[in-house]
Amino acid sequence: MLNIVNLEEIQCVLLRVPGLIHELAERQMSLIDSVKTWLTDGEQILINNRLPVAAEVAALRGVLISAERGVIPPGMAFSARTTARKIKEAAAADVLRKAAEVILQAIAADAARLAEGEKLMRQILAVAQRKGISQVSAPNVYTHSDMLKAIWRAMTEDPDLGGAATRLEGLVGINDALVLLDRMLPTRPGYGS
C-alpha cells in the first residue's frame, strides 16, 4: 500500500512523459538519453517503494539499450528502409508507452483508494465544519501538527463522524488521513506553521 507522498512521487515521474513525447515529435537527438534517464529514475522510485514492476521497467530499458546497438526490438516491423535512428526512435516510443502503462497499472489500485479517501475526507470535513469541530480552541497553543491531530481526534470521538473517520483511517492510514485533512482544511489565520 503506497502512501500519498510515494504515490505522488510516482505520478510525478509519469508527468514527465509528455515532455519526452515532445522530444520525440521534435526528433531531438537527446531523446534516447532522456528516455533512458526517465526509465532509470522510474526504476529507482519503484525500487524505493518496493514495487516489483521495477523489473519490467528495467527490462524495457534493456530493450532500448539493445536498440541503440542496432537490434530491432521483437514485434517491431518497418515498412520503409530502416536506419539506426528510426530503430532507436521507434524503440524509445514503444518502451516509453509500455513503461508508462506498466507503472500506471501498478499504482491504479492505490490511486483509486486515495481518491476514495479524498472524497470521504471532504464529506467528513463538511460535517465537521458545520458542527464546529474543524476549529480548535486556543489555536496559538498548538503547532500545526498538533492542531491537525486535535481536529482529527475530535472527529474520531464525535458520534456522527467517528464511523466515517475510522473508515477513512482504515482506508488510507492515520498519516495519510492527517495529510488529507491538512490539504482540505480551509486555511485560517492564527494557526501555527
Burial class (CB in 10 A: 0-12, 13-18, 19+), 64: buried
For 83-128, what is each residue's pLDDT tens digit?
Answer: 788 888 889 999 999 999 999 999 999 999 999 999 999 999 999 8
For 32-53, what is each residue's pLDDT tens digit?
Answer: 999 999 999 999 999 999 999 9
Q: Which residues of 39-61 are buried (b: 16+ CB within 10 A; e: fewer)?
A: beebbebbeebebebbebbbebb
Q: In the chain, where are the structural domains located?
A: 4-112, 113-184
pLDDT reported for residue 82: 79
For 65-74, what is each residue's pLDDT tens digit?
Answer: 998 887 888 7
